[in-house]
Amino acid sequence: MSHAPFVPTPEPVVRKMLELAEVKPGEVVYDLGAGDGRIVIMAARDFGARAVAVEIRRDLCEVIRKKVEDLGLQDRVKVLNMDMFKVDLSDADVITLFLLTSTNNMLRPKFEKELRNGVRIVSHEFSIEGWRPAKVIDFHEAATSHRIYLYRFRRQRRRHQ
Ligand SMILES: C[S@@+](CC[C@H](N)C(=O)[O-])C[C@H]1O[C@@H](n2cnc3c(N)ncnc32)[C@H](O)[C@@H]1O
C-alpha cells in the first residue's frame, strides 16, 4: 500500500539532508520511499555510503536501477521493490524520509523496535510526532523554504518497576 505520493526532493535539499545527517563513507543509508532514487544515488556517489532504496512502485524501481547502472553504482546501491514497513532496518546508520507526518508516525514503532542507538533520521518537511529533533533547519532553495528535521535515535531505558 502506498503511504505517500511521488514528489521528488530538490537536489540541493537532498545534499543538505545528507550533510545534516553527517553521512560518512561506508555507512548504510536507507531512503524509505525512494522515488526516482536521487537520495540514494547522491549518498553513494558523493558521500561514499552504501545506500538502500526502498520503493513500493515497480516503475520507479526500474528508473532507479537504470540510473544506478548508468552511473556504475551497482556495488553501492541496493534497490528493494517492497513495502517499507516490511524492510529490516537493523543495519541502518542513516534513514532519509520525505513522506507525510501520518506515515512517519506509523513508522515510529518500527524504528523504536529495530534501530540501533545513534541512528540519524533526516526528514524533509514532515516531523515525527513525539520525538524531539536534534536540529530543525529551514533551507531556502529556488524561492522555496524547505524544513529539514534531524533526529538521533536513542533507545529509551526501561524503568525498574
Ligand atoms: C514524496 S516521495 C519521496 C521520494 C524521494 N525519497 C525523494 O525525497 O525524492 C514518496 C515515495 O514513497 C513511496 N512510497 C509510498 N508508500 C510506500 C511504501 N509503503 N513502501 C515503499 N515506498 C512507498 C512513493 O511511491 C513515493 O515514491
Percent helix, strand and coil across the chain, each to the nearest 5? 30, 25, 45
Average pLDDT over residues 8-13: 97
Cα–Cα distance measured from residue 141 to residue 117, given in angstroms and rounded to the nearest whole number: 32
Considering Cα of 114, then 117, then 118, then 123, what sign does the dihedral take? positive
pLDDT digits (tens, 9 = 90+) for 95-135: 999 999 999 999 999 999 999 999 999 999 999 999 999 99
Task: Give mean pLDDT, residues 82-100.
Answer: 98
Ligand 1 centroid from CA 142, angstroms = 23
Distance 97 CA to ligand 1 centre (A): 8
Per-residue pLDDT reduced to its tens digit, 15-61 = 999 999 999 999 999 999 999 999 999 999 999 999 999 999 999 99
Task: Answer whether 31's CB lies under 8 Å from 51's CB.
Answer: yes
Q: Is 40 in the pocket of ligand 1 (CB under 6 A)?
A: no
Q: Which fold has domain 11-152?
A: Rossmann fold (3.40.50)
d(C-alpha 109, C-alpha 47), whole Å: 29
pLDDT of residue 160 exceeding 60, the answer is no
Q: Could you give the strand order of the β-sheet that contains 120-124, starting from the edge strand earlier in sequence?
A: 77-81, 50-55, 28-32, 94-97, 120-124, 144-152, 135-141
Q: Check pocket membership of 60 for ligand 1, CB cut-off 6 A.
A: yes
Q: Which atom of ligand 1 is nearest to the CA of 3?
A: 16
Please report how the helices 58-70 and 38-47 are oriented relative to each other, as an axis angle in degrees rounded to 10: 20
